[in-house]
Structure formats: C-alpha cells, structure tokens
Amino acid sequence: MKRGILDIGNTAVKWAVFNGLEMLDQGRMDGHADDYRQLAENYGDLNWYWSSTRDDGDLAVSLLGAQEILLEEPLPVTIAYRTPSTLGRDRLAAVCGAHQLFPENPCLVIDAGTCITFDLVDAAGNYPGGSISPGLNMRLKAMHTFTGKLPLQEWEDPEDFIGDSTRNSMLQGVKQGLIGEAERQIRLYEARYPDLRILLSGGDSGFFEKHLKKDIFAAPYLVLIGLNAIQHYKN
C-alpha cells in the first residue's frame, strides 16, 4: 500500500512516499502552502499522514487531507521508558525506523540536532531509553550566555587539538567534548550489546561521520522511515 509521510519540524518539512516499507521518493521543503500544493499535484492520489514536533499540521490536513500519526500503541517496538508521556516524537520514530532497518540487531540511534540523543532499541524490539545532552551549537551558546566575557561563536571545525585563541579554545572544547562523549557512549553500549548497529541522523550528523572511527550507518530519513513503520504496523 502506497502512502505519504510528513515530518513537520520547526524549520522545515521532510516528506517521503512509501510502498509498504519501501521508500520510493523523498524530499525537504519549507512548509509553505505552495509546497503542499505541489505535493498534492504530484502525489494527490495518496493517503498522507503527518507528525510534528510543534503540533501544527493545519496545512497538511487542509491541502493534502493528511491524518495525524498517533504515536501510541500498537507500535512496532515495546516501550520500556518509565515516562512515555514525556518521550519525544522524533526519538520514538527514530528507534522504530532503526528496528525496521535492522530487526535482528540491537541498534543505537545517535540523533545530532539541537540536542544530541542516544537511544537504544534491542533485537527483540524493546526500547528502554537512552540519553539527552546539549548539541553542538547549544554548547557554544551556553558558554556565551552563562559567562561574562566569552563571545558567541559560529561553528567551524578547528584543525589542531590545542586551541591557540579564545575562539579556537572554545571550538576545541565543544569538538573534543562531543567526540569524547559519543565514543564513551558507544563503548558502553557495545560492551552490553556486541552485535550493535549504530545509526546516525540529524542536522549535525556530518560532524560525527567525520570524527567517529566507527562503522556507522548514515540515516538522514530515519524519522520518516520510523513514522512510516508505525503507520504500516497500525494498518
């Protein structure tokens, strides 16, 4: 069964067309009315489904007739998280996507966005949780906001690991802190799950792809894959 999936974020909308669990087409748009009209023109015969981190699917509903994806049971994974009502939509969708892609392996999903999340789904489809920490730009902003003299920096990957200026020292602090954190998290999960698969998504995923010396599966559309897996499972 073909369907369209919309992931409505704060700054952009990602969309994909699926035939069952197979992705046929995908894209990214600003989310203006004309964008939705273009989707309707190209794929108006599909049933569309939407999910949003900002609870705003008005255009998707009015211009595509889209239905909201309800992130409640039944789900393709079993939630063992102690506070499921506080669980972010993207985190849940991402682990559902990981389990669909690698159903025979435990998966660690690293989502590098505003915050960096590390989430596990085991080979049996159980989701116990993970961790949340500040993302790359959030760390730079925090140093500026909570000190008197450190300036706000734009991210640039520094070359040498010794910062030779205040700017480079701040950039190195963020860089080495993020790499060290990710490597430590991966070691912890690999020690418990030797056949672990690592999946990477999010706007800053390129940073980790560049600096982590691991076999990592880049999955830029992991949330869309997971949202589709959820809707497929419900049908």
Distance (Å) of CA 14 to CA 110, 171, 192 = 19, 30, 34
Say whether 35 is catalytic: no
Calpha distance 54→66 (Å, rounded): 16
The identity of residue 111, as a single letter, is D
Calpha distance 49→51 (Å, rounded): 7
**Residues belonging to the chain:** 235
Select which of 7, 35, 90, 119 is catalytic.
90
Contact predicate 217/199, CB 8 Å: yes
Residue 152 is given by DSSP the state P
Calpha distance 38→43 (Å, rounded): 8
Helix or strand (DSSP H, E) at 116: strand 115-121
Tokens of 21: 């669990």
Calpha distance 125→123 (Å, rounded): 5
Contact predicate 200/221, CB 8 Å: no
Return the active site residues. Answer: 90
